[in-house]
Amino acid sequence: MTRPTETVPRGPRPGPATLLPLLLLVATLGACAPATTPSPSAAAPSATAPPSATPSETTSPAPTPSATVPPAATPTAPPTATPTPSPTASPAAFACTRLPYVRHSGSFAVRMSDVRVGRHPGFDRIVYEFRVGKRPVIAVSPTQPPFKLDPSDLPVTIAGSAFIKIRLTSILNETMPASKLDQKPGYPMLLELRETAGYEGDSTWIAGLSGPACVRVSILDAPSRLVIDIRPATP
């Protein structure tokens, strides 16, 4: 048999004005409830960083041995040839002239252009030079002091311990510098050369030497010259 359906009377549906107080009550109760603190066990374990590796001692790489380059060979300069010194006249090659020496085959009215002295290996030299290829009468001889100037007849001192006289005849008087008339070179053998007479076609000179000497007299041409070389006498 069919059971009659029970009809439940429905009240009116709550409106917005009825719901608002309920919402406020629920919000107030939620705010007053204590906050729930999560248990430490509930917290997710934090990730622990793995311990850092202890730094090991850094080993520098061993240097790679470089190839040793041998030093470049220094070029050796060829040996310099030592110049051979010119031979010095030996006493045997120096022929002494026997004094007194006289040469009469001279010219007249000869002009003397220069008188000079010089030092050479092993000997000293006196040179008389004449003009126009002529030469006077020549006389070379040993002599001793005292000496006088002619024509003044005044005494004169000449340096040296041995002396030779050079006399030139048929010479025309020609003015020469005073430095030529008295030369004092102070060479090993020739200490002084001085004119002591120069007038009336005659010119006389005294050579003061440091000691006994070997004298070599030469007559040369182009230009015309009288050359007297002096070296120490051989014992």
pLDDT tens digits along 41-58: 434 444 444 444 444 444
Cβ–Cβ under 8 Å, residues 145 and 158: yes
Question: What pLDDT sits at residue 199?
Answer: 83
**Predicted pLDDT at 45:** 41
Above 70 in pLDDT, residue 88?
no
Residues in contact with 177: Cβ distance below 8 Å, sequence separation at least 6, in sequence order: none
pTM of the entire predicted model: 0.61
Lowest-confidence segment of 29-43, 59-73, 191-205, 221-235 by average pLDDT? 29-43
Reduced to 3 states, what is the DSSP secondary structure of residue 224?
A: coil
Which residues, at least 6 apart from 155, have a Cβ–Cβ distance to it below 8 Å? Answer: 146, 147, 148, 149
Taking alpha carbons only, the member of 164, 161, 166, 158 closest to residue 135 is: 166
**For the purposes of burial, counting CB atoms within 10 Å of the CB of 132, is it exposed (0-12), middle (13-18) or buried (19 or more)?**
exposed
pLDDT at 223: 92
Question: Which is more confident, 29 or 214?
Answer: 214
Decide: helix, strand or coil at residue 26.
helix
Tell me the average pLDDT of the chain: 76
Residues 6 or more apart whose Cβ sits within 8 Å of residue 91 = 122, 214, 231, 234
pLDDT mean over 216-231: 95
- Give the C-alpha distances (Å, rounded to integers) separating 138 from 44, 48, 60, 121, 153: 145, 134, 103, 26, 23
Question: Structural domain boundaries of the chain?
Answer: 101-232
* Higher per-residue confidence, 195 vs 68: 195
Nearest to 207 by CA among 217, 194, 220, 196: 194
- Residue range 101-232 forms a domain whose CATH class is mainly beta
State the pLDDT confidence band at 85, using cuts at 50, 70 and 90: very low
